[in-house]
Structure 1
Amino acid sequence: MSGFQVLKPGALALLQDLGRRGYQHLGLTTGGALDERAARWANRLLDNDQNAALLEISLGRLELLAGLDTRVALAGADLGFEINGKPCQPWQSYSVRAGDHLRFGYARSGLRAYLAVAGGFTGRCRFGSRATVVREGMGRALAAGDRLECLPDQSPGALLRRVPPRYCTSGESGDALRVLRCYQYQEFGEAERRRFFDEGYRISSDSDRMGIRLAGPALGWSQGGILSQGIALGAVQVPPDGQPIVLLNDRQTIGGYPVLGTLLPLDLFRLAQMRPGTEVHFEAIDVEEASALMRTFYDFFG
C-alpha cells in the first residue's frame, strides 16, 4: 500500500483542497476546505503546494493505517489525535512509519481539523480540483476500507515543525464577525440593518457545508421577490422566515433570496470552527480594510 487505509471513517472526512475555481457558470460550486487558514498551515508545515489535497476531518473518530514512511501535519481543531496511542497536538508535523495507527477522538475544541501528508494526497482530479462536494457527485465521504494514495516523501530527513503559538487557534470565539455591506444591504430597512448588527444570533444545529443557519431576531424583507443572482462565499442570505444563513463552500451557485452582505473570509474560517449553540455577533467592515486584511493573509502564505 502506497498511502493510508481507512479503518474507521469517522463522522465526516473529506478529501479537499482550496476549491474548484472557474466553473460556477456550469453550476459547479467551489467546495474546498472550510477553514482555509488551517488547511494552508497544514500544507505549509510540510512545504507542500498550498493547493495540495488534504483531509478535512469533522468532529473526529477517524482511524487510518499508514502504508509508507512519510510526514504528516495537522492544523485546526483539537480532535484528540494519536499515533500508535501517543497523544499528538495539532499545529505540528510528525513522522509516520509504515504500519503506524493514526486515530482521532472526539473534538475537544473547534469542529474541523486538516491532515496533510508530504506531497499531498493524489485523489482523482475533476474540473481542476480534488475538492469533494458530495451533493454534486464530486467525490464522497471516506468509508471503511478506502485507500488514500500519496507519493513517497521527497524530503524524508526534513525537520519537523510547529506553528508559532500566536497562530494556533481554532477560532471558536473572539471578536464580532465582520460583514461587507453589499448585495441588497441598502434595500433592507434601517430597523432591520440595526437589528442584525446590534443583536446576537446562535448557530443552529441545522448547519452543514452549504451554510451556517442562524437563530435569533428575524429580519423582515418587504421588497418582494428578486431575480436570481450569483452567490458569493460568505453571503448572508435572508430567506422568508427571516433567519439569516451564512453560505459556505458547498453553497448553491445562484439564489433568489435577498443578501444583506458577505462575511470577511478570515472570519468565515473562524465561523466554520464554531459549534452549534455558539452565540455570534456581527459588525460592518469597509471594502478597503477588508481588502488590506485579505492581501496580508494571502501574501503571508505566498
Structure 2
Amino acid sequence: MSWLEVIHPGVQSSVQDSGRRGYRHHGLAAGGALDLISFTWANKLLNNPRHAACLEIMLGGFRAIAHGSLQIAITGARTSVAVNGEPVELWRTLNLNDGDELTISHSVHNRLIYLAVAGGLDSPEQFGSRTVVVREKLEGRGPIKAGDKLVPREPQRKVPSREVPAHQRSDFSSEVVIGLIPGYQYTQFQRSDILRLTTSSYTVSDQSDRMGFRLQGKALDCPPPGIISEGIAHGSVQIPGDGQPIVLLNDGQTIGGYPKPGVVPILDCSRLAQQLPGDRVRFELCDLATAQNQRRLFELHYQNTRWCQNGQALEWL
C-alpha cells in the first residue's frame, strides 16, 4: 500500500470533494472544494472519478513524505513546488517514489492549492461525501494534522505524463469579474444601489474564509431592511446594514436574514475563492441561462473529453 505521510499541513489543509447534496435542510453546509475549477483539473489529470476527494491546501506551507510509489497532480494557486528539493511544475502529473519529500511553498499570490492522488483520497464518508466542514466539528472530520496518512482509495495505477494546456489554466493575475444573477430581493433594492454594486470595484477583506468572502468598497446607500430568515444558496450575495457585500461560499450558513440582490454562479465563486485580502473584485449582471450553459459546458468537458496520446491536449469523444 502507498500513502503520503504529512510532515507539515501548512496554514490549513482539509480533505474536500465536490460537496454534500440534500442535507442543507438539516443545517449542514454543502462544503466541498472552494475552487471547483482547480479541483476538477487535478482529478482530470489522473482520470479520477469526477467527485474524487483531494487535499485542499490553504496558502501552502505543506510538506509530506511518500511511502511507496504514488502518482499525484497539483493545481491551483501560483506557488513553488519541489520534490527532494528539485523544483517541479504545477498543473501536471507527478510521480513520487518511496521516500520522496514533497514540499509546497507558501503562496503569496493566491489562496488555494489542490493535491490529488490517482484513485482519489480515502477518508471517512458521511452524508454521502468525504468533504470536511471544520466549523461543524463532526467526529473525525477535522483539518489535516502532522502525522496523518493520506491514503489512496485504489491501488496506484500510473497514467502517462500529462499537463493542462496553458490556455485552459485559471488566470489569477487580473481583477476578477464575477457574475450576479438577479434574484431574492433584487427588486427591493434601489436602482442606484444596483448600479453602484455592478459598476464599483471591491477589495477582498481579511475577514474572508470558507464560509464567505467579505468585500469592501462603496457601500450601498439604502439596502432593504432585514427580512425573515430564509434558505440561502451557494454564492448568495448578502448586504448587511453597513452596505458592504458578503458572498457566501461552500461552508456558509444555510439560512439568513440579510437582503440579497442575487447569486454569484459557482464557477465565478471558484475564481473569487482564490483571491487574497486586498485583491480586487467587480460584479457584473448576468442571466441564469448563461450561467447554466457555462456550467453545463464545464461538466460536459470533464465527462466527454479524453487526453491525447502526447498528454498535452484533450479531444472530444
TM-score (norm 1): 0.96
Change in 2 beyond 3 A, CA 1:204/1:175: closer
**Where does residue 7 of structure 1 map in the other structure?**
7
**Where does residue 21 of structure 1 map in the other structure?**
21
Amino acid at match of 1:209: R
Unpaired segments of 5 or more residues in structure 1? none
Q: Tell me if 1:96 matches 2:62.
A: no
Separation of aligned partners in 1, 2:219 and 2:206: 17
**Where does residue 122 of structure 2 map in the other structure?**
122
Separation of aligned partners in 2, 1:160 and 1:72: 11
Give the deviation of 1:171 after TM superposition.
3.0
Q: Secondary structure at the match of 2:111?
A: strand
Give the deviation of 1:147 after TM superposition.
1.5
Separation of aligned partners in 2, 1:243 and 1:219: 7
**Where does residue 41 of structure 2 map in the other structure?**
41
Change in 2 beyond 3 A, CA 1:122/1:175: closer
**C-alpha contact (below 8 Å) 1:74/1:92 kept by paired residues:** yes
Q: Secondary structure at the match of 1:277?
A: coil
Give the deviation of 1:2 after TM superposition.
3.7
Amino acid at match of 1:144: A
**C-alpha contact (below 8 Å) 2:12/2:144 kept by paired residues:** yes
Q: 1:147 is matched with which residue: 146, 149, 174?
A: 149
**Where does residue 204 of structure 2 map in the other structure?**
203
Separation of aligned partners in 2, 1:225 and 1:290: 28
Amino acid at match of 1:22: G
Give the deviation of 1:225 after TM superposition.
2.8
Separation of aligned partners in 2, 1:294 and 1:116: 22
**Where does residue 241 of structure 1 map in the other structure?**
242
**C-alpha contact (below 8 Å) 1:72/1:95 kept by paired residues:** yes
**C-alpha contact (below 8 Å) 1:60/1:104 kept by paired residues:** yes
Give the deviation of 1:159 after TM superposition.
0.5
Give the deviation of 1:193 after TM superposition.
0.8
Give the deviation of 1:170 after TM superposition.
4.6
Give the deviation of 1:23 after TM superposition.
0.4
CA RMSD in angstroms comes to: 1.5
Separation of aligned partners in 1, 2:244 and 2:21: 29
Give the deviation of 1:294 after TM superposition.
1.4
Separation of aligned partners in 2, 1:78 and 1:222: 37
Q: Tell me if 1:277 matches 2:278.
A: yes
Amino acid at match of 1:26: H
Separation of aligned partners in 2, 1:132 and 1:77: 20
Q: Secondary structure at the match of 2:110?
A: strand
Separation of aligned partners in 1, 2:88 and 2:257: 46
**C-alpha contact (below 8 Å) 1:68/1:152 kept by paired residues:** no
Give the deviation of 1:221 after TM superposition.
4.3
Give the deviation of 1:286 after TM superposition.
1.1
Separation of aligned partners in 2, 1:170 and 1:134: 28
Give the deviation of 1:228 after TM superposition.
1.0
Give the deviation of 1:175 after TM superposition.
5.5
Q: How many residues align?
A: 301
Give the deviation of 1:176 after TM superposition.
2.2
Q: Any idea what the Cα deviations from partners look like across 1:214-233, whole Å, max 9, x if unmatched?
A: 11111244543311111111
**C-alpha contact (below 8 Å) 1:172/1:275 kept by paired residues:** no
**Where does residue 183 of structure 1 map in the other structure?**
184
**C-alpha contact (below 8 Å) 2:7/2:63 kept by paired residues:** yes
Q: Any idea what the Cα deviations from partners look like across 1:129-164, whole Å, max 9, x if unmatched?
A: 1101001124111111111222454423x2011001
**C-alpha contact (below 8 Å) 1:34/1:248 kept by paired residues:** yes
Q: Any idea what the Cα deviations from partners look like across 1:179-227, whole Å, max 9, x if unmatched?
A: 1011111101111111111211111011000000011111244543311
**Stretch of structure 1 that moved more, 251-260 or 139-148:** 139-148
**C-alpha contact (below 8 Å) 2:193/2:223 kept by paired residues:** no
Give the deviation of 1:70 after TM superposition.
1.6
Give the deviation of 1:46 after TM superposition.
0.4
Give the deviation of 1:240 after TM superposition.
1.4
TM-score (norm 2): 0.91
Q: Secondary structure at the match of 1:289?
A: helix
**Stretch of structure 1 that moved more, 86-95 or 147-156:** 147-156
Unpaired segments of 5 or more residues in structure 2? 304-317
